[in-house]
Structure formats: structure tokens, C-alpha cells
Chains A and B, each alone.
Chain A
């Protein structure tokens, strides 16, 4: 029999510590939707998504009601659209983007991801078509997210793609400048992208996946923060233990919801992504966890070590709680989506260089960072290249979600709203990287022996 304190602990986590399931994401393969005629392909895509995901939102709401766990988002991820669009004679893929958007609206999900291309080694004409369609596609849709994988540990870094993405990110920023360049918040540029990630903007349904799958992303920075709060005298050993135990409990809840959703929808269970995903709400911040460990402000010396401990302990605690762990699992550091990070970058303590260092040990990368609108495209590409290098050399997933906010500069704030939050625009180095980016070609895959 459960005891009173256990029941009340769970209720307190849900009530006052922002414990939630961040997302139930249904992955859907679109490989059988290809067609020479883009209108036919669009129709097949729409029909397949709606037929598979028609009950997703209802099931999510039922589970929320019965278990009393908030399920913040219901989402869909699909096969990278460049693979599906490759058969089309049409070179502009915006119609495919509208098919995704319409399917998202019809099913009532919060986001749909997979307007994506995997170009770590080279680009097909379809990949180029998709990348060139990004500015229009992201400005004309609301719920659709895109991602491009430009590097991997096995293939190296495709610097031609990195160059192209710098250009397109500026184009997307321009195309959505009336909304603080919001389009860029829906695009992730990856190195070592994973095929089963349920989190946006980078979710897509990898070609190695089955027809349909359910992946669940948990959250809970507030619960971890509470667990180590007021533990001023605790050593790092004790802090790591507390985080592990908390991560275990959070993940068990994720596993329960994933199994229940899988059963009710009749769709196989894929993975639980045990991420600490912050929100802009007070008390739901990863930065505040790091500060609780004894740092005056997130971004000061010691931040990387604190984040490394947190990221590792979350994985260790969560891994035993789920039958299959996957996705991006770890601690996210999206600046605009984290109340503590917003404050730290506003004070100028959390800089782009420190954020880059933190991405060596966090679960993903430079995430939701607002930069000046007049940033040269080569500088954007160079930041992507740096971030990809960290991922490729360290055999981890890294990503860039940078928002050059057109018409705004350092000292101003970009406001995206909702879970995407707001971000002070942070300064970048002014020295240019133009000649570096214009070289093109590929940075070779790294050696994986003689590791120093």
C-alpha cells in the first residue's frame, strides 16, 4: 500500500513544481506518400497523417484527466520531407509544408516536425529544394517545424550545407521580421541528429523507424530544483544522488504515460526522452538548478561543471526507469525558454562563448538564442560550424537554433510568446569569418582513437 507521504509528494510535484509530460509525439512514416505530382503527394501526406493521428489529442487529454498529469503538448513527427519530395517534379516544396500544416490543424496537435533534410555528407537536388523552400514555408505556416542535419561523427561536417544554412536563416529571419523573426525559432540545424526525438523544433521520424511510433518527452526542472534546494552543506556526491532519484521518478511517470498512450492508440511504443526541458515560468528553470548548486549567476565560472553533473545524473537516474530511453535525453539550455537563462543573459553573464562551452556537456546545443539582426550570414554559418564540430568530435548531438532578430540589436528583447518565451539579444564577436565559410567542401570525419 502506498503511504501518505508518497502520494502527497507526487501531488506536490504536479501542483507546485511544474512536473509535466512535455509531449506525446507520434512519429509517422511518409515514405509511402511520394509522387511525381506534388499535389498528389500533398494529398497523400495529409490523408496519412490525419488517419494515423486523428485520436492523438483526445487520448492525450484522457490520460491527462485520469492520471492527473499535465500533458503540455501533443505533437507529430514525420519522415524528413526531402526524402518524400525527391520524387516530385516541382522544385518548390511549400505545398508539402502546407500539407503538414493543414494536417496539424486538422488533428489539433501543437506542432508537427519533419520539414527536414539529412545532408551531413552531401545534398541531393531534393535537399537543396527543401532548404531553399524554408523561408517561405516557415513564414506561411504556424505549427510546422524544420530541421537540417549538416554533420555527423561518421561523415564529418558538410561545410557547403553550413554555408547555405547561414544564408537561409537570414532569409527566414527577414521573411518573419514582423514577428521578431519567429520563423528561425522553428528551425534546428543539427550535428548527429537522432531519429526518435520527440522535442521540437528538431523532431523528425527517421528513415530507420517503423510506420508509426509513440515517443514521450518528460520534463521537470522544477522538481529537480526542489530536490536540491536548501542543501547548502551537501557534497556533489549527495547532489548527484538526489538528482538521480528525482530523474528516476519523473521518468517512471513518462514510461507509464508512454505505455498507456501506445496501448490506447494501438501504436508501438518507441522511447522515453528523459530531458529536463525548462519553460519561461518561474520555478521551471535549468539555470536556477545550476545556481542552486552554488553559482551566483548561471554563466559564471563553474557553470559547465555544474551542467555536466546535472546532465549525467539525469541520464543515470532515468535510464533504469524506462524500457527504452532515446531522443535527446539530458538537460536542455534554451535561453529564451528558461527564466533563469533569460535573467543571466540579460545581465551579460551568460555569453555566447559560455553557452558554447556549456553545449559540450548539455544534451543538445545553442538553443533559442536571439542575436542582432544585422549579423552577417557567414557569422551564423561559422557559429553552426563551431557547434557541429563540438558534436562531431565528442560523438554527441549538437544543434543551433539561432534567431537573428531583424531590426533589433544588443540590449533589446525578442518576444516569441508561449513556450518559446523571450530573449535578450546577446552580442556576438564582430570580427568576420567570411573567408573561412566561403571555402566550402567538407571537414573530414574525425579519428576515434588516440583520444586526447
Chain B
């Protein structure tokens, strides 16, 4: 199952490394990354495969959120389907 991780917050050293470490610990494969920095504001969007993840979606979502809080970032994970449904016919 594919999901979209979005990370939004103030730019700082080690955001990608930190998020990727959390994902790797949970056996989640990163399929695609795009990121931009606009006026010190960092936005990263990752497509990930959570089929092999060793925990429930709810726990994963909470762990990412908790990690984000320690860095002052907003991190969320959502199933890809919602974006596909909204923007693709």
C-alpha cells in the first residue's frame, strides 16, 4: 500500500535524514521524494510503500507526528488514494 508523507516546517539541518531514519526503522521503503525550500519554509513530499511496515497505520502516524514535534515540523502520512481521488479522473 502506498502512502504520502508530507513534512512542512522551518528549514534546518537533518530533516530528510531524520524522517528517513524513522521510516527505515519501521521497514518502510521510500519510492519518491520531492522537496523545496521557500523563504526558509521547508516542504517535503515523499511517496512511501508501507506494505512491509511492522505496525498499524495509526501507530505509524502517531510516531511520525511525535518525531515532527521534537523538530518543530508538521509531519503527516495519508493513504495515496485520497489525492488520486481528488485530483485524477
- Point out the residues of chain A lying under 8 angstroms from B58, CB to CB: 62, 65-66
**Distance of B82 from chain A, by nearest CB (Å):** 5
* A68 CB contact (under 8 Å) in B8, B32, B34, B78: B78
Write the nearest CB–CB distance from A216 to chain B, whole angstroms: 13
- Residues of chain A within 8 A of B82, CB atoms compared: 10, 67-69, 253, 256
A249 within 8 A of B: yes
The residue from A4, A62, A249 contacting B36, defined by CB atoms under 8 A apart: A4
**CB closest chain-A residue, reference B87:** A6
Q: Does B52 contact A (CB under 8 A)?
A: no
Kindly state whether residue B61 has any CB partner on chain A within 8 Å: yes
Q: Is the CB of B85 within 8 A of A7?
A: no
**A1: Cβ under 8 A from any B Cβ:** yes
Report B22-46 residues with CB < 8 Å from chain A CB: 32, 34, 36, 43, 45
Closest Cβ neighbor of B4 among chain A residues: A7
Query: Smallest distance from the beta carbon of B73 to chain A beta carbons, Å?
Result: 14
A8-B43, A68-B76 as given contacts; A256 in contact with B85, CB under 8 Å: yes
Interface positions, chain A 1-53, Cβ under 8 Å from B, are: 1-2, 4, 6-11
What is the size, in residues, of chain B's interface with A at 8 Å between Cβ atoms?
Answer: 25
Residue of B8, B43, B85, B86 with most chain A CB atoms under a 10 A cut-off? B86
Given contacts A1-B32, A7-B6, A8-B43, contact A65 B61 (CB under 8 A): yes
Mark A241-260 against chain B: 1 for CB-CB distance below 8 A, else 0. Answer: 00000000100110110000
On chain B, the residues within 8 Å of A10 by CB distance are 82-83, 86-87
A249 interface neighbour in B32, B43, B47, B87, Cβ under 8 Å: B87
Supply 18 further A-B pairs (C-beta < 8 A) apart from A7-B45, A68-B82.
Answer: A1-B47, A2-B88, A4-B43, A4-B45, A6-B86, A7-B83, A10-B83, A10-B87, A62-B57, A66-B78, A67-B78, A67-B79, A67-B81, A68-B79, A249-B87, A253-B82, A253-B85, A253-B86
Can you list the 7 inter-chain pairs with the closest CB atoms, starting with the nearest? A68-B78, A256-B85, A6-B87, A252-B85, A67-B82, A249-B86, A66-B57
